[in-house]
Structure 1
Amino acid sequence: MSQTPNYYQKLAKKNELTYLSADKLQISPGMLHKKFLKTYMKLKAMPIGKKGEAIIVATSELSLKNITAIKKYWGHDVILRVTPIQLIFSKLHTSFPDVFSKEIDTDLVNKYPELSSKKVFCLWQKIALLMLLIGLCIFMVINHEETLFWMLLTLEVGVSFTWIYKLFLVIGTFFSRQKPIVIPKKMQQPFYTILLPLLDEGEATIRNLVNALNKLEYDVHKLDIKFLVDNDIATEKILRKLDLPYYMQIYNVPRANFHSKPRACNYGLKWAVGEYLVIYDAEDKPGPLQLQKALYAFSNFDENTACVQAELNFYNKFENFLTKSFTVEYMVWHGVIFKMMSRLKLPVPIGGTSNHFKVSVLEEVGAWDPVNVTEDADIGIRLYRFKYLVCSIPSTTYEEANTRLGNWITQRTRWVKGFMQTYLVHMRNPFKLLKELGLAGFLNFQIIIGGSVFANLACLILWMLFIGYLLFHGFFIHNHYEVTVLRYAWINLVIGNIAMIAMNVLVVIRNRMFSLICYALLSPIYWILMGVASYRALYQIFVKPFHWEKTDHGISKEFFKKRK
């Protein structure tokens, strides 16, 4: 991170003004008024006291235009003081902590009610689901054999479409190239906001996060780093103990009857200083040049690019079977499939971290859905509905792969449930969705969002059916329907799994991660675990759709080795 710690001090000295550091920035009682908050934020200034009849104003912006606006608002005899914009916004947040408490929950539902997950099922979806269940019951009574045949055939065809399409995307990456990024030596660096939603994080995790942020190569006076603490006294105490620089500030998210990452991010967005914004998770280690590469992409890629996604990988990839399988999955998804979809300008569900946004576009599309448990997937699709694009950049953020099965199951349950929420929301009006995404985008959405969930649920049934067929061959076959469906199930399972395994092996070899080939071959075991988590998600979408299951961080052996 390039060091310019005295930028505002130099600015004050150059203009013969007094500089106010964090400990000297004191606000006299009665100087700030909530109704003028947006004016303070727009002018990057706030009144902090009086000297006689003159008002003392602290500001970070000394352009002629801004000084003229300040004098017009507070009087020509105003006394100016210089302080960082990050401190101004932090003081305003401390003075008015609940000012945005309602907006962060209601912005999306008020602006675009049809795009909010607040209602899980719309009326026609409830009717369709009820009719489907009633219809299945009736047909099972009339002819259960033929009904089961068509049900299983539907499962098999759906799974086939999903793996064939993903295989097509993987093969496609071998015939396309990512746009190169060459960062100019003198790149203009605008203000950049970094949001860090935190809940129940340990001291080691937070210290590692701060160390990773300190390695970012970006002018520090243009950084606006916000630790978004979601009603967590312990995490806040840890942060208060650290000697954080002025561009790293702690923001307490207003209380609510539930915790959610998108809600915390919505609050951070309200206080964002930057023109651009990125989200990182507590355990993340982003590449040092990632912000600059994202800026380059925004400036040089398609003009409609509104979101830039960095690649994701794990620093503890070789720890156990789960982390190795997780790594194979990430290499296929983030390293191949995501890239290909973005190159084809198709709607993509972005990752939960290291996604960079234009702040103006985020505000335009309604920001994050506070009750969608995979807000990243939802907003990725929503951006495309508003005619914006998502692209990827060659910069990797290293995360901590889940090492514990229980922790992995709860995390994957949340991801799958969020995909279900996202699918239901955007399919409330299929014809409108088709019009906004186009035919290719609409089909991509059906397969990547809906098809992925469908395949996870169906595969577990097909595996059980296949194993049952092998163990109890004579009991399964009674007529030509069952012979046909079981043969197709066997063919689909064998060919489909071989194709998907081959795809995983191919990607692993391409990344020269030869030690993971064995785990790519064992992918079906990992897929069965995904099926278990998917049925857990299916249960929750009806019983507790908005329940957010927190993923524990700082549990890897590699994490503690690095600490030592």
Structure 2
Amino acid sequence: MLPFFTKILYLIFNVTNMITTIDDIVAAYNVAWASVNTYNLYPMLRSSKATDDPTEKELNTFRKEYWGKLDKMTILVPAYKEQKTLYSCVKAINESSYPKSKLEVIILLEKDDTSTIEVANRIASKFKNVKSIVVEDEVNKKGKPRALNYGLKMATGDVIGILDAEDMVSKDAFIRTAYMMQNKDYGVVQGILDMVNEGDGWKNLMLRAEYGYWFNTYLKALKRADYPLPFGGTTNFFRKDTLQKLGGWDSNNLTEDFELGMKIFANNSKIRENVRKNAGKLNTNGNASSEDPIKLGIIRSVTREESPPTMKGWMRQRTRWQQGKIQTLRKEMNDDQLSLRTKAHIFFSSVQPHISVINLTGIGISVYAYLDKALSLPVEIVAGFNAVMVAFYATMNAAGYLWVTKPEKETIKYRHLKAVVTAVTLPAYWAMQWVADMKALKLEYIDKSNVWYKTEHFGRHIDDRQLEKTLAEDMHPATVNNSDNK
């Protein structure tokens, strides 16, 4: 059987041979564009279902019933050149509503990062549940997934949580995760991320709106539609046995979070296919031959993060994300055990981050054709649908900003005007992403480079700016408090 990509190229070749006029080009592109837009729209049209994320009443009942038998959690905190933000991150973890006796924090460090190692050691001397560990893995290249796999071996918790070293996690994230896993049997839980330093410029405003839409709306829609669920790089939690079964993270992938999400989708698809094939059959124990797919959940807890304040930092981060998605797509498409349907889902999920290129090209082609009066009626209808989808994306971007900033509506000046800006200037933001796409393609296919470019953080989202003073005063042994929160 021909590989998946060969089939795609064969189809494109045949379609290309039929294109002879500008009308044909516009028609072909708009049909392809419409297929991507339809795929993206479908989850949003699914009827809304009640979430398994608990209400406050349910959470309080869970606390009373499970407080003495909560799972132990290990929170992995990869930290490279994060001396400015690390203490605030760990402090927020220990100020959560989860009992400290059931929280293990492992800070994962690199041997050449002496400044962060020094801070991490001071933090470990304050909090009894914190371990400062230098990663000893000389086989894999330096990067976050390499550190996470090393930390997984050291973890003693039943649940593994991931937090970036600049994160300010909400107080209820861990208890909500425990509710989902112990009360609802979820294997993976994802929290909401919010990039809060919108004051650093237009691109930071746009990134906050993008995250607002993605985590508050679209991620939940993907779950309802049983689409692949791309994880955020932080505030995700896994049953330890689930992670071990999956083999942990891909140490060579530049977006280990996205790759793991696609891996879980592929795993669940294989399980469902096996169940379908073996329906009615019994295994050697006389039981029905089946294995349960991994349940994925989303909690409402918000983790506050900092987006890159400089254009260089934004571009390097986005390029790494795009390159990692290319790597994931290539890996999953080569899995002969996956059905065509599963590969199609992973293909569209991997193309989703590159939709900026598709949208901008489609807008340009369609505008040219409209001005040239080359469109036939059927093509006009398809192009009209795509134009509506561009407006839909812009509206959702504005809505995402309004949703995520709702708790701050009394303090943010010109909030609704900012929302309008995020909608109107979305094409310009797509253009920036297009540049990142091109860089990612060059790095992956021409340079064949697989370097993890570090995103620098400055602590703009941390209330206490006098970090050195805080470290000196708040980490004094006399201030240590390791009692459980109840």
Coarse TM-score class (shorter-chain normalised): 0.7 to 0.9
Identify the residue that residue 448 of structure 1 maps to in structure 2: 349
Match of 1:291 in 2: 174
1:169 and 2:51 aligned? no
How many angstroms apart in 2 are the aligned matches of 1:238 and 1:402?
A: 22
Name stretches of at least 5 consecutive residues in structure 1 with no aligned partner. 1-122
1:201-280 matches, within 5 Å, as: 201=82, 203-231=83-111, 232-242=113-123, 243-254=125-136, 255-256=138-139, 258-280=141-163
1:163: how far off? 2.9
Q: Which amino acid letter does the alignment assign opposite residue 37 of structure 2?
A: W
- Listed one character per residue, the Cα deviations across residues 71-119 of structure 1 (whole Å, up to 9, x for unaligned) are xxxxxxxxxxxxxxxxxxxxxxxxxxxxxxxxxxxxxxxxxxxxxxxxx
Instruction: Name the residue aligned to 2:423.
Output: 521
State how far apart, in whole Å, the 1-side matches of 2:158 and 2:226 are: 24
Partner of 1:385: 266
- The answer on 1:551 being equivalent to 2:455 is yes
Within the alignment, does 1:312 sit opposite 2:175 as a pair?
no
Equivalent-residue separation in structure 1 for 2:403 and 2:463 (angstroms): 30
Q: Which amino acid aligns with 1:162?
A: V
Q: What secondary structure sits across from 1:204 in the alignment? A: coil
Aligned match for 1:376, one of 257, 262, 277? 257
The alignment partner of 1:195 has SS state of: strand
Aligned 8 A contact 2:53 2:298 in 1: no
SS at match of 1:185: helix
For residue 306 of structure 2, the aligned residue among 400, 413, 417 is 400
| Contact 2:197–2:306 (CA under 8 A) maintained in structure 1 | yes
Structure 1 residue 517, shift from structure 2 partner: 1.9
The residue number in structure 2 matching 1:502 is 395
* 1:456-491 CA-partner distances (Å, limit 9, x unpaired): 332343345467779xx6xxx5x96x8899968964
In the alignment, the residues of structure 1 paired with residue 257 and residue 453 of structure 2 have an alpha-carbon distance, to the nearest angstrom, of 16
Residue 85 of structure 2 aligns to a residue whose secondary structure is helix
Deviation sequence 1:262-308 (CA, Å, 0-9, x none): 1110000011110101000011011112111101001222x3x2110
Aligned 1:69-468 pairs, distance under 5 A: 124=3, 146=20, 153-172=27-46, 175-181=48-54, 182-183=58-59, 184-186=62-64, 187=67, 188-201=69-82, 203-231=83-111, 232-242=113-123, 243-254=125-136, 255-256=138-139, 258-301=141-184, 303=185, 305-386=186-267, 387-429=293-335, 432-434=337-339, 439=341, 443-450=344-351, 452-465=352-365
- The answer to whether the 8 A contact 2:89-2:169 is kept is no
Shift of 1:327: 1.3
For 2:213 and 2:260, how far apart are their aligned partners in 1?
A: 22
- 2:436 pairs with 1:533: yes
Aligned partners of 2:208 and 2:360: how far apart in 1? Answer: 22
Give the superposition deviation at 1:124: 4.4
Distance 1:300 1:161, change over 3 A: farther
Tell me the distance in 2 between the aligned counterparts of 1:276 and 1:546. Answer: 30
Q: Identity percentage over the alignment?
A: 24
Contact 2:53 2:176 in 1 (8 A): no
CA contact (8 A) 2:228 2:262 kept: yes
Q: Whole-Å Cα distance in 1 between the matches of residues 101 and 354 of structure 2?
A: 48
TM-score relative to the length of structure 2:
0.76
Aligned-pair distance for 1:259?
A: 1.4
Higher relative contact order (CA 8 A, sep 6+): 2
The offset of 1:330, in angstroms, is 0.8
SS at match of 1:408: helix
Q: After TM superposition, give the deviation of residue 394 of structure 1 in Å.
A: 1.5
Name the SS of the counterpart of 2:339 in structure 1. helix
**Is the 1:462–1:489 Cα contact (8 Å) retained in structure 2?**
no
* Contact map agreement 2:354 2:437 (CA 8 A) in 1: no
Corresponding pairs, count: 419
**CA distance, structure 2, for counterparts of residue 467 and residue 550 of structure 1:** 39
Q: Secondary structure at the match of 1:548?
A: coil
In 1, Cα distance between equivalents of 2:378 and 2:430: 22
Compared CA separation, residues 345 and 465, structure 1 to 2 (3 A): closer
Instruction: Kindly indicate whether the alpha-carbon contact (under 8 Å) linking 1:196 and 1:281 is maintained by their aligned counterparts in 2.
Output: yes
- Which digits, 9 at most, give the CA deviation of each residue in 1:167-202, with x for residues without a partner? 3433547x333224122233222221110111122x
Residues of 2 paired with 1:550 and 1:150: CA distance? 44
Instruction: Tell me the secondary structure at the aligned position of residue 313 of structure 1.
Output: strand
Say if 2:192 and 2:303, in contact at 8 Å, map to a contact too: yes
**Which letter maps to 1:404?**
T
TM-score for the superposition, normalised by structure 1: 0.66
Change (3 A) 1:270 1:314: same
Contact kept? 2:166, 2:459, Cα under 8 Å: no
Q: What letter corresponds to residue 89 of structure 2 in structure 1? A: L
Contact 1:306 1:388 in 2 (8 A): yes
Structure 1, 258-267 or 539-548: larger mean CA deviation: 539-548
Which residue number corresponds to residue 275 of structure 2?
none
Q: Deviations over 1:136-183 (max 9, x none)?
A: 9xx98x89x62876665444333323333333433547x333224122
Q: Alpha carbons of 1:219 and 1:364: their partners in 2 closer, same or farther (altered >3 Å)?
A: same
Equivalent residues of 1:276, 1:357 under 8 A apart = yes
In the superposition, relative to structure 1, how do residues 466 and 384 fare at CA in structure 2: closer, same or farther (>3 Å)? Answer: closer
Q: Alpha carbons of 1:153 and 1:467: their partners in 2 closer, same or farther (altered >3 Å)?
A: closer
